Amino acid sequence: MAELRSRRSNLAVPGSNPRFLEKAKGLPADQVFLDLEDACAPLAKPAARKNVVAALNEGGWGEKVRAVRVNDWTTEWTHTDVIEVVGGAGAELDCLVLPKVAGAAQVQALDLLLTQVEKASGLEVGRIGIEAQIETAQGLADVHGIAAASPRVETLVFGPADFMASIGMRSLVVGGLHPDYPGDPLHSVLVQILVAARANGVQAIDGPFLQVRDVPAFTAAARRSAMLGFDGKWVLHPDQIAAANEVYSPAQEDYDHAELILDAYAWATSDAGGRKGSAMLGDEMIDEASRKMALVVAGKGRAAGM
Ligand code: GLV
Ligand code: MG
């Protein structure tokens, strides 16, 4: 966990809107994804590709992870998206987001195409990562295969809007609770994505919350997935960024405590500490499992610059 990039807030920016692309550079999101998919109308896609290439090449993104969401493989656009964006700005791009991933083969297809475009453009082969959106019944059915499909996969990203449509969920509330359901109707989906991500050493990113003016409701949804273990969440509006950055960072108190556990356990298991298997930290017994849990919290805090 400690080496993975911080992705607490993943800001969606429509590739068709040069003003939003410019504005996004100055916002404090950990990651931006410049969208060529659902935020761009079909006729706007050719111009959006050019806007995205120009915005990446202009720079000014600071430490942000720079991603572009291409169109899914059932459209006629994916190959042109990859060739134009990676061919035009591959050196300034960290990841491609692949939407509506239906199975491992779709990730492998993107990996192969990326490799060709990297070679043809003189780029380092394999540097650009893939973020796989799990947002259909087929995608969830093959979520482990998708996570393991390529060493390029860096994250699994939940897409609640498409997912709810795909399974026929009778709700229009995306990412929130519903009065007809006791608890979070998407809980089991989140856990399946999280387990597949962790089993394959990749990050798990929660999807968008569409009621963009209701920051308290966004925060509540973010707290639920952060508590499970998710690393971050999509944000659609600048107001959601600070909330996501806070929710997906460990509390300062928890971070400090995690570092303390790591120090105490490292001492107890060292020669000088007597090579013990477990130790006491105040009134708390700590052992190898405590070290692993502490490493998760400390890793998230270190990635967030705590
Ligand atoms: C995001 O792409 C979603 O479908 O929720
Ligand atoms: Mg979607």
Alpha-carbon span 94 to 73, nearest angstrom: 20
Report pLDDT digits (tens) over 234-287.
999 999 999 999 999 988 999 999 999 999 999 999 999 889 888 899 999 999
Model pLDDT, residue 57: 98
* 170 annotated ligand binder: no
**Quick one: which atom of ligand 1 is closest to the CA of 161?**
5
Rounded to whole angstroms, the Cα distance separating 280 from 158 reads 40
Give the CATH fold of the 9-248 domain: TIM Barrel (3.20.20)
pLDDT tens, residue by residue, 148-157: 999 999 999 9
111 is known to lie in a ligand binding site: no
Q: How far is the CA of 24 from the centre of ligand 2 (A)?
A: 20
| 162 annotated to a ligand binding site | yes
The model's pTM is 0.92
Q: Work out the pLDDT band at 2, boundaries 50, 70, 90.
A: very low
- Which pLDDT value is given to residue 1? 38
Q: Any idea where the domains of the chain sit in the sequence?
A: 9-248, 252-304
The more confident residue out of 212 and 173 is: 212
**Residues 6 or more apart in contact with residue 63 via CB below 8 angstroms:** none
pLDDT of residue 3: 54
Mean pLDDT of 105-127: 98
Tell me the pLDDT tens digit for each residue of 18-50.
Answer: 999 999 999 999 999 999 999 999 999 999 999
Task: Please name the residue ranges forming H helices in 42-129.
Answer: 45-58, 78-89, 104-120
For residue 54 the two structure tokens come to 């120009």
- pLDDT in the model for residue 174: 87
- Residues in contact with ligand 1 by the CB-under-6-Å rule are 133, 135, 159-162, 207-208
Residue 13 Cα to ligand 2 middle (Å): 14
Distance 136 CA to ligand 2 centre (A): 9
Q: Give pLDDT tens digits for 44-78.
A: 999 999 999 999 999 999 999 999 999 999 999 99
Q: Quick one: pLDDT at residue 299? A: 87
| Nearest ligand 1 atom to alpha carbon 162 | 4
Protein residue with its CA nearest to atom 1 in ligand 1 = 159
What is the residue with the minimal CA distance to atom 2 of ligand 1? 159
What ipTM does this complex have?
0.99
